[in-house]
Structure formats: structure tokens, C-alpha cells
Amino acid sequence: MKTFVFDIGETLVRDDRYWGSWADWLGTPRHTLSALVGAVTAQGLDNSEALKLVKPGIDISAEYAAREAAGRGEHLDESDLYEDARPALAKLRHLGMRVVVAGNQTLRAGELLRALDLPADLVATSEEWGCAKPSAEFFAQVLEASGAPAGDTVYIGDHPANDTFPAARAGLRTAHIRRGPWGHLWGADDQVHATADWVIQSLTELTTIAGK
């Protein structure tokens, strides 16, 4: 392996703050929105559909801008990272691997992630690239950012439909992490195990994969 590319939400970063802040903004209990996010995603829908259930007719882009203007917009700090994220990325770089962070996130999220000074060679988001998972265009960008052949590039993520399956279709090696709602929901799925090269419990396991 030469390059490891990481999804962001529920792979490197907990989504608790993100959805909790949306629930607070919309005036709904956090548990309610969290449950709705799980329900729509299990139905194969984008998780933003949960916001439309809480507030029918919502203009998500306008609400996002209003939150930012009110000083209640996106925020990320060290406490949002999973405990193994920074050590795993640092160890991979120490082993000579190229480390890329690339997921479905906003421009603002990209800025916040780069401000954390992660041990990564590149941090990019779907909004910055102008394409999002699970599109083939996104994974073409991943391969360009990788700087290595698809067979020497591992994409790590928690969501089969957004991460494991499309990355495998693009020819990349894949690691499904059993983390967060989607990682656990599909962690024992037969198709996930048949498609993923590895199913892992922690990012620290990637250092072993790096030697293969």
C-alpha cells in the first residue's frame, strides 16, 4: 500500500456536534433528529432528508447561511476527533504512506479540518471538489489526490453505499470501519464483507495493512 484516504464523518470525526447543533437550531430534541437521520439513511436516502422531516419545506442552504450569520455554524475542534484518528494518521505517515482526508463535507468543514493541522498530506471536501460520494467523479478525484495506482490506495469509511462499494468499483482497496451508526449497522453485512478488503474496529489496525 502507498496511500490511505480517509472519509471524514464517523471515520475521523464524530458527528455528534454536527447533528446536535442542527437539532438545537431547529428546536427539536437531539434524540429525535438523531433517530430520523438513522431512519432516512437506512432507507437509502441522504441524511439531510431528516432535516426536511423536522421542518418540511426547509431550504437547507439558506438555513446553513443563517446559522453561520448567527454565529451558530459549523465548528470542529480536537474533541470532535476520534481518539485513534491523529495517532493512526501520524503512524501511517511515519511508515512512509501518503495520507489523504477526503469526504462529503462543506467548504467550511475543510477549513476547520485544516486548522486542526492533522498529520495528512491533503485535506479536501466534496464541496471543494465540486462532486460528492458516491459518484465516480469523486473517486476519480481521490485517485488523482492519491498519487498512486488504485490497487495501492486504500479508502477507509463507515458507510457502504458512500464509501466501500463505490471505492471498490473505482478499483481502490477498501477498509470498512465498524464505527458510528452506519459502520455498526452494516458491519456484519455479507455484501460489505464480500466487497471490503478489510473490516476494522479501529484506525490503528491500518498500520498492519500498510505493510501488506
**Coil, strand or helix at 140:** helix
* pTM > 0.75: yes
CA–CA separation, 33 and 178 (whole Å): 22
Contact 98, 6 (CB under 8 A): no
The full DSSP string for 33-68 is: HHHHHHHHHHTT--TTHHHHHHSTT--HHHHHHHHH
Contacts with 126 (C-beta within 8 Å, 6 or more apart), sequence order: 103, 104, 105, 132, 133, 138
Write the pLDDT tens digit of every residue in 7-49. Answer: 999 999 999 999 999 999 999 999 999 999 989 988 888 889 9
Output the pLDDT for position 212: 67
Report residue 63 as a C-alpha cell: 438555513
pLDDT tens string, the chain, 212 residues long: the values are: 999 999 999 999 999 999 999 999 999 999 999 999 989 988 888 889 999 999 999 999 999 999 999 999 999 999 999 999 999 999 999 999 999 999 999 999 999 999 999 999 999 999 999 999 999 999 999 999 999 999 999 999 999 999 999 999 999 999 999 999 899 989 999 999 999 999 999 999 999 999 86
Output the pLDDT for position 43: 87
CA–CA separation, 105 and 109 (whole Å): 6
Inter-helix orientation angle 16-26/60-69, to 10°: 90
Report the phi/psi class of residue 51: left, alpha or beta, with left for phi > 0 and alpha for psi in -120 to 50: alpha
Output the pLDDT for position 41: 84
